[in-house]
């Protein structure tokens, strides 16, 4: 039996360009995916498109400085709230995606307290 590839699973050029411009969508990553670096704040960007390709409102794009490069990640409700309320620009942090529980996406946020020990907080 032979199989012919039909989809490949790659992202379209449009999606790749959108991710380069606005950042990857955190809630579409695999469980355990993390981003870490010096938090450089957030800004509102066009929301991810619906199934028909129409942008949906706005989303928060968070910026992290790591290894001299800025990483951009589009967040979700809980992630946006925690970063706004508990993290300041300049903090060294790590955000790990923990999947969806019921209707809500979850993450773990850790902040470097300078002690050299892990201080992750499950959210």
Going from N- to C-terminal start, the domains of the chain cover 22-47+56-122
Q: How far apart are CA 52 and CA 14, in angstroms?
A: 14
Could you tell me whether strands 69-74 and 24-25 are parallel, antiparallel, or unpaired per DSSP bridges? parallel
For the stretch 21-52, pLDDT in tens is 999 899 989 999 999 999 999 999 988 777 77
Mean pLDDT over each residue of the chain, to the nearest integer: 86
In CATH, 22-47+56-122 is 2.60.40: no
End-to-end CA distance of the chain: 47
Residue 76, pLDDT above cutoff 90: yes
Instruction: Lowest mean pLDDT of 5-9, 81-85, 104-108, name the range.
Output: 5-9
* Chain centre distance of CA 107: 10
Is the pTM for the entire model greater than 0.75?
yes
Q: What is the pLDDT of residue 7?
A: 55
Mean pLDDT of 50-77: 90
Contact criterion met (CB below 8 Å) for 96 and 73: no
Q: How many CB atoms lie within 10 A of CB 27?
A: 20
DSSP 8-state code for residue 53: S
* Sequence-ordered list of residues with C-beta below 8 angstroms from that of 79, at least 6 positions apart, any chain: 26, 62, 95, 105, 107, 109
Residue 67, pLDDT above cutoff 50: yes
Q: How far apart are CA 20 and CA 73, in angstroms?
A: 10
Mean pLDDT of 58-77: 95
């Amino acid at each position: 039996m032979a199989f012919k590839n039909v989809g490949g699973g790659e992202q379209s050029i449009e999606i790749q360009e959108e991710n380069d411009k606005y950042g990857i969508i955190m809630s579409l990553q695999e469980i355990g995916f993390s981003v870490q670096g010096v938090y450089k704040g957030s800004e509102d960007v066009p929301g991810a498109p619906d199934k028909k390709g129409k942008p949906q409102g706005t989303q928060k794009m968070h910026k992290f400085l790591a290894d001299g490069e800025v990483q951009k990640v589009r967040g979700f409700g809980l992630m946006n709230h925690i970063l706004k309320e508990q993290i300041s620009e300049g903090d060294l942090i790590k955000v790990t995606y923990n999947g969806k529980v019921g209707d809500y996406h979850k993450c773990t946020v850790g902040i470097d307290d300078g002690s050299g020990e892990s201080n992750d907080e499950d959210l």
